[in-house]
Structure 1
């Protein structure tokens, strides 16, 4: 199955009112964040994906309500899928996504390649088991 069957990159809800700007520096812990008066609102726990810049394809889980930075899209994942399974899958292809960017001045995530990635769709419980095992193994490399 293609990623396009279970994922979508969406803009987020346009909203006004003072909120924290969730840009890449803030999400990486390299800034305390700035406030802005309007933007594309995302909720704590939502997932956003960097679509512009050198690290296109990097996914962040939103730590608090706020406006996502202009270089992001909200990552929607079907409820038929175990979210950590899909996020691990995207992380696996991070290097391919980084190398296949489009544009010279500001590289953009190649959405055609993103949506065309093939993902296995085992039963939900198997997705959970696979994700748990990946988490176990990743702890060994820290």
Structure 2
């Protein structure tokens, strides 16, 4: 499937992919997401949004400088063993040095794209680059093919996944 790169509307796809409905298209992740740094700030005390804090393994640590991240932002781990793991920030703070902010196009369902990223986490982990500290292979991340249905179908898929996980949680809870 070829994406019309000159279009500002990501739903305008050209071509045909034999295993997807006609209303779907396949586009590279780089057309939907970008990895950005927060705005550098100093002199304001904020929480350090590092991996241990975001995983709930450590209490908040206050720092007075860093790359600002607003509450409910998405941070993707780009350095370390679990590169590709995505966190939603519970509060504003300074992003940890091992993160980039994940900016997702507003024309797609954020939770749908997060499910696509999660689907590729193993591949991203197995294809890290760098020798001393493994890094997210950004070229591979940007090239991930995203099957993109209409927005309403994206929401229906996310709802179905959430229901399936609730059922799995119930099963695990009853064991």
What TM-score do you get using the length of structure 2 for normalisation?
Answer: 0.80
Counterpart residue number, 2:80: 53
Residue correspondence of structure 1 range 24-103 to structure 2 within 5 A: 24-103=51-130
The number of equivalent residue pairs is 142
Q: Which runs of 4+ in 1 moved over 6 A?
A: none
CA drift of 1:103 comes to 1.0
Q: Tell me the secondary structure at the aligned position of residue 157 of structure 2.
A: helix
1:25-67 Cα deviation digits (max 9, x unpaired): 0000000021111100111100000000000000000010000
**CA-atom RMSD, angstroms?**
0.7
Unpaired runs of at least 5, structure 1: none
Structure number with the bigger relative contact order (C-alpha 8 A, sep ≥ 6) is 1
Unpaired runs of at least 5, structure 2: 1-26, 170-175
Q: In structure 2, what is the Cα distance between the partners aligned to 1:86 and 1:107?
A: 24
What TM-score do you get using the length of structure 1 for normalisation?
Answer: 0.98
User: Is 1:6 the counterpart of 2:32 in the alignment?
Assistant: yes
